[in-house]
């Protein structure tokens, strides 16, 4: 923690007062209690819209499972959200889902199959990895069979599914509200929050990566 704090204190000198105040303010609500996992999303506008919704709800990280498509959000749609949201890319394989589960996440596939629980009725009690499938096929059968549970959004018209980016936005917002109104300690630990603030600072500074790298080299 001491090294992390020293690093952040060094980077702060390159930030404007306004940017530093925003980093401090918005980091307080950040959480990794819900981890969106995106399975081979191929429309860049959908990718960008999901990143934007994730950031708006202060979850600040997504996992992109890549197989046939590169996860490449459209920066004109994210409205700067890519500065704040960490994207971890993994191969679209069951082993990736297994590794996420080993981090302590319950695997929750967003799909009406397998006796899905409706989103309004879902009780969030533990960290969840929320898996969204491809635009046309939904969550793959392999992941559906592996998932601990499935989650569905109630539909009231002839249309039987939302666009994946809309579904993600609905789920992120609804789950955020459930956490806010719970007694669950869902926010980041002090160490995780500090690491995130360092990443945000680096992304906010012109030539931030070079400045950060040089600082680490000089310290060592």
As annotated, the binding site for S-adenosyl-L-methionine includes 153
Distance CA 88, CA 106 (A): 18
Q: Which residues are annotated as a binding site?
A: 153
Q: Is 209 exposed, middle or buried (0-12, 13-18, 19+ CB in 10 A)?
A: exposed
* Residue the block writes with tokens 């404007």: 16
Which contiguous run of DSSP H or E holds residue 33? none
Give, rounded to a whole angstrom, the gap between the first and last alpha carbons of the chain: 16
> 117-118 and 86-91: which strand pairing?
unpaired
Q: Are 109 and 150 in contact (CB under 8 A)?
A: yes
């Amino acid at each position: 923690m001491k090294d992390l704090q020293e690093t952040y204190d060094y980077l702060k000198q390159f930030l404007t007062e306004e940017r530093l105040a925003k980093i401090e303010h918005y980091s307080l609500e950040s959480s990794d209690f819900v981890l969106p996992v995106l399975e081979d999303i191929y429309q860049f506008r959908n990718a960008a819209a999901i990143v934007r919704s994730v950031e708006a709800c202060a979850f600040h990280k997504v996992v992109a499972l890549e197989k046939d498509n590169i996860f490449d959000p459209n920066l004109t749609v994210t409205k700067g959200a890519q500065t704040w949201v960490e994207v971890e890319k993994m191969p679209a394989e069951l082993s990736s889902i297994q590794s996420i589960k080993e981090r302590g996440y319950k695997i929750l596939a967003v799909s009406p199959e397998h006796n899905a629980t409706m989103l309004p009725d879902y009780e969030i009690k533990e960290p969840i990895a929320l898996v969204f499938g491809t635009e046309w096929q939904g969550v793959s059968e392999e992941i559906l069979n592996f998932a601990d549970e499935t989650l569905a959004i109630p539909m009231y018209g002839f249309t039987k599914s939302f666009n994946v980016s809309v579904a993600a936005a609905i789920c992120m917002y609804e789950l955020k509200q459930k956490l806010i109104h719970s007694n669950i300690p869902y926010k980041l630990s002090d160490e995780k929050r500090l690491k995130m603030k360092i990443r945000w600072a680096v992304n906010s500074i012109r030539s931030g990566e070079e400045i950060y790298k040089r600082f680490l080299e000089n310290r060592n």
